[in-house]
Structure 1
Amino acid sequence: MIPHPSPLRVLFLCAEASPLVKVGGLGDVGGSLPAALRQLGMTLAAANGNETTLKAPEGAPSSAIDIRVALPFYGAINRNRYKAQPVTSVEVPHANGAIAAEVFTLQVDRVPFYLIAGAPIHPQAPVYSADVGYDAHKFIFFSLAALETARKLDWQPHIVHCNDWHTAAAVYWLALHREQGAFFHNTASVLNIHNLTYLGDGAEFPMASFGLPPAQPGALPDWAKQLPLPLGLLTADHIVTVSPTYAQEIQASEAGLGMEFLLRQRADRLSGILNGIDYRRWNPEDDPAIPVTYTPESLFVREANKAALLNELGFIAADTGLEERNTPLLAMIARMDYQKGVDIVIEALYRLAREARQPWRAIILGSGLSELESSARRLQWYLPNQVRVVTRFDEPLSHRIYGGADLLMIPSRSESCGIVQMIAQHYGCLPVARATGGLKDTIRDYRSDEAATGFLFENPTPEDLLRTLHIAFEVFKDKPTWQAMQKRSMATDFSWKRSAHAYYELFCRLAAERARLTKCDDHPNQMSK
């Protein structure tokens, strides 16, 4: 048996990582997953000398996981709060001459970060700009500089873990060059797909400028042959999506966005691992943002949060004379985008009001497309006693909504994983969601599962959402059943610890596979033994 490396060395490349810089959900992953992997490595190391049920996979390293994160040194990173120290400098080959990169380091949650600065990463530019050519130049430079940093520091990673199109160039570079030198010879690549919508369009010229040629004829469609994500998908040792269902969906034409044929070809190298949520940040037992903290055993105090939320948003009980406890409070927390189904929620609430079958109230929180923001505000104008709309990013308010609302509406047209449904369940706010991607994988449906934690529907339409809301309303009236669902949802494990175990097992397998391949390359006569 070929021994596994100990410790397992992982270089994690990401365009965002909380708390240093966060624009969207990718930032949560970039901050939380490396920290969870490092903690798992410590647990495994401690368990190695003690009696415990927690053991490394068969033949895998049982010592700490040495994971290090590479991140562009954006101007948005607070230099006063995060004191990064210079560690080295490298050069990235380019058609117009090598481009210098300065590398700084600091630790977050005891995970080492390499912050990479250089001319392509302008300190005044946003993390993501409207100029796709600029972004491509920046992210390709960063990706290649991260690999050069590992080489300069003589720190040989067993795994290079890349995320989305921004860092896929590193995967492709490894496929082109690792057989030509000893340093990356034993390095395996993992490419995570968080959002297949963005392939790196507009990156053709920067890819060529950094010496990354198009794919071989016939390997990719002509339109994709020099885009970062398709090239990464073609050459990665393993592809990971952020939910098992999404891994299946993107092999079909509708969700595959032109990559479905390649993904079907590589199905044996494609898997889904669910994201998690950070319980240090999202925990109703000690959340400072909610008026009253609670546990599954003290759900009755949750009503105080609901009352405070209604009061904060200007709902007046006298408008309807209703007992708030028996009036379901609906919520939506989402980017104002058609992919999230905001238009579906708006139309469903209009219809719900016209039906007048029972009382309800709703809160919509989110910003995005101006046309959807306007539509949502018109809904509030039309239903002032039933609807409140807040068109801004307001994380403290989102905590109070999770802690006080009864139902969270998530009618996404597509959802690779999603995080809101996991947070909502952890807070006892039951999701009403379309059965797609990670939503399907993380919600157990009331109609088909005795251990239900929410309500699912098939089609992204107002009709299906409305029909499912009525089912949820009936269950809401049955308080023992409702509270049992809340307790089950709050007890579900959505931690990053669960995700880290799955990634660790994958990394160990890939490291062993890569070591076996390179040993056979070095000693080809062993192939016949």
Structure 2
Amino acid sequence: MKVLFLAAEAAPLVKIGGLADVAGELPRALRARGLDVRLVLPWHASLSTQGLSPRRAVEVVVPSRGGAYTAQVHTAELAGMPVWLISGEPIGSSASVYSDPPRDSFKYAFFCLAALRAAESLGEIPDLVHGNDWHSAAAVLAVARARASHGPWHATATLLTIHNLPYMGVGGGEALEAFGLAASADERLPDWARLVPLAQALAEADWLTTVSPTYAREIQTAEHGAGLEGVLSARAGRLTGILNGLDLERWDPARDKALYQRFRPDELPRRRRNKAGLLTDLGLDARGEIPLLAMVTRLDHQKGVDLALDALQSLPDPDWQFVLLGKGDSSLEERALTFASGHAETARSILRYDDRLARCLYGGADALLVPSRYEPCGLVQMVAMHYGCLPIARATGGLRDTVCEPAGADGGTGFLFEEPSPEDLRRAVERARTAYREPERWRALQENAMAQDLSWDRSAELYLQVYEKAVGVARGAA
């Protein structure tokens, strides 16, 4: 099966958010299962070509209402993965991956249509176009609408992955219309959504996926559906939640040079040296009888930083130590600093992005707080589990699907709380503290967490199954 995998960003070439990790890792896992995947990216000014050696393959013309635009298509390989880089004036005129909405809408519509024109020119019409988030919506729409013409795209399937539903390209309808993609007439869409790129693609793609089974259910509700719960519920039979995977080469506590002490799952006693090193470097007392809690996050409302600070405020100081690492909203940064200064003997707030320190926290802290108000999938809880750091997480989205707290003492991989409130989080922290006082139970939980299959291989197999369903739908329609 031949697949065009379109994304706005992909690690390690260009990374802003979590989409880059998925786009950098899932296509490789799919190729390992025998699929002929091509990763297609805009050639952003910030994209690194180190190790790529791009060569010019073809030049294509993309017509628009305001005149035609020329796109240059370069091909390259990244560790055996074929990569197409699309450049042209709408892409080159923007210095950043994401800027103001009108400019982004035009840039990504151009990118999508140039990618399809390139596939035609290179004789690389795929069996399936896999788009990611609203940036790839124009490709999904163009293929779906070209199918009726019985041209080269008549049997190509479309799949759209929703990584974070509220980001839908609102205001992008004018750009779509400029490139000949009219407003949707689908009656399942609310009127306001018929010019919104993501909403239109949700209605017209052959299949939809999102990044966890629970999030797939949540976005069909008014609470999480961002006004599109109606069309998503109507399409529930073609909506599949598939957990993202973890790059087990990048995240490996047995080989991670950032750690004070590397360790394997059967060497958990060695892990204690990481906690000792952390506490020393951060100026906290080494107190083995109390848990070291960590939070590695972007500081914003979604991530529940306020819930964590309020929950810890209600616990007695001698019973915990806490390290917060991250940056973001200025008011939350101020709250974090105030909290740490008020708990100088037990807490530290470090307001920066620091990959080495994050790895040391995963490998040395006892538990990781992940109190997100919503979380489509989440990566930090999976990394933490793989490093023997037990998540204390809100039971939402991918957190519910990856963290298990059974009623009994056996089989758990962390601790969950239901309501997005400081009180419910505090109770989960108290359950974790109780378990921590039982070393054999705590070690069993760590072993369970580290034994979970978090690989992209598992995810790729599920995507392969969905690809086959999408192709079946498209060819049935053709």
TM-score calculated relative to the size of structure 1: 0.88
Output aligned runs, 1:39-438, within 5 Å: 39-41=32-34, 65-122=35-92, 125-129=95-99, 131-216=100-185, 218-315=187-284, 317=285, 324-352=287-315, 355-356=316-317, 358-438=318-398
The 8 Å contact of residues 74 and 123 in structure 1, kept in 2 or not, is answered as no
Instruction: Specify the alignment match of 1:27 in structure 2.
Output: 20
My pick for the range that moved more, 338-347 or 83-92, is: 83-92
Whichever residue aligns with residue 127 of structure 1, its letter is: V
Whichever residue aligns with residue 69 of structure 1, its letter is: L
Deviation, 1:221, is: 1.4
The one-character-per-residue Cα deviations of 1:416-469 (angstroms, maximum 9, x if unpaired) are 110111110000000000100100001111435731000001001110111110
Deviation, 1:124, is: 5.6
Instruction: Specify the alignment match of 1:527 in structure 2.
Output: none
The 8 Å contact of residues 364 and 390 in structure 1, kept in 2 or not, is answered as yes
The one-character-per-residue Cα deviations of 1:135-163 (angstroms, maximum 9, x if unpaired) are 11111111111111111111121110000
Deviation, 1:369, is: 0.7
The one-character-per-residue Cα deviations of 1:465-501 (angstroms, maximum 9, x if unpaired) are 1111011001001000100110010010000010000
The 8 Å contact of residues 189 and 230 in structure 2, kept in 1 or not, is answered as no
CA change 1:262–1:217 in 2 (3 A) is closer
The 8 Å contact of residues 421 and 439 in structure 1, kept in 2 or not, is answered as yes
The one-character-per-residue Cα deviations of 1:375-413 (angstroms, maximum 9, x if unpaired) are 101111111111111111111211111000000001110
My pick for the range that moved more, 506-515 or 337-346, is: 506-515
The 8 Å contact of residues 394 and 400 in structure 2, kept in 1 or not, is answered as yes
CA change 1:123–1:137 in 2 (3 A) is closer
Gaps of 5+ in 2: none
Instruction: Specify the alignment match of 1:486 in structure 2.
Output: 446
Deviation, 1:80, is: 4.8
Gaps of 5+ in 1: 1-7, 42-64, 318-322, 519-529
The SS at the match of 1:184 is coil
Aligned counterparts of 1:417 and 1:189: Cα–Cα separation in 2: 22
CA change 1:223–1:487 in 2 (3 A) is same
The SS at the match of 1:256 is coil
The 8 Å contact of residues 128 and 467 in structure 2, kept in 1 or not, is answered as yes
Instruction: Specify the alignment match of 1:4 in structure 2.
Output: none
The one-character-per-residue Cα deviations of 1:7-41 (angstroms, maximum 9, x if unpaired) are x1010000110000011110000100001111122
Deviation, 1:217, is: 6.4
The SS at the match of 1:115 is strand
Whichever residue aligns with residue 339 of structure 1, its letter is: Q
The one-character-per-residue Cα deviations of 1:248-287 (angstroms, maximum 9, x if unpaired) are 1110101001000111111111110000110011011111
CA change 1:212–1:449 in 2 (3 A) is farther
The 8 Å contact of residues 56 and 75 in structure 2, kept in 1 or not, is answered as yes
Instruction: Specify the alignment match of 1:49 in structure 2.
Output: none
Deviation, 1:347, is: 1.1
Match status 1:16 vs 2:9: yes
Deviation, 1:512, is: 3.4
Aligned counterparts of 1:261 and 1:207: Cα–Cα separation in 2: 23
The SS at the match of 1:325 is coil
The 8 Å contact of residues 409 and 441 in structure 2, kept in 1 or not, is answered as no
Deviation, 1:86, is: 1.0
Aligned counterparts of 1:174 and 1:217: Cα–Cα separation in 2: 16
The 8 Å contact of residues 303 and 325 in structure 1, kept in 2 or not, is answered as no
Deviation, 1:504, is: 0.8
Aligned counterparts of 1:494 and 1:422: Cα–Cα separation in 2: 7
C-alpha RMSD of the superposition: 1.3
The one-character-per-residue Cα deviations of 1:155-180 (angstroms, maximum 9, x if unpaired) are 12111000001111111111211221
Whichever residue aligns with residue 15 of structure 1, its letter is: A
Q: Give the count of matched residue pairs.
A: 478
The SS at the match of 2:435 is helix
CA change 1:37–1:478 in 2 (3 A) is same
Whichever residue aligns with residue 122 of structure 1, its letter is: G
Whichever residue aligns with residue 18 of structure 2, its letter is: G
Instruction: Specify the alignment match of 1:59 in structure 2.
Output: none
Aligned counterparts of 1:399 and 1:274: Cα–Cα separation in 2: 22
Deviation, 1:185, is: 1.1
The one-character-per-residue Cα deviations of 1:294-341 (angstroms, maximum 9, x if unpaired) are 1111100101001111122222x2xxxxx5222210001111110000
TM-score calculated relative to the size of structure 2: 0.98
The 8 Å contact of residues 100 and 118 in structure 1, kept in 2 or not, is answered as yes
- Equivalent pairs: percent with the same residue? 45
Aligned counterparts of 2:226 and 2:401: Cα–Cα separation in 1: 22
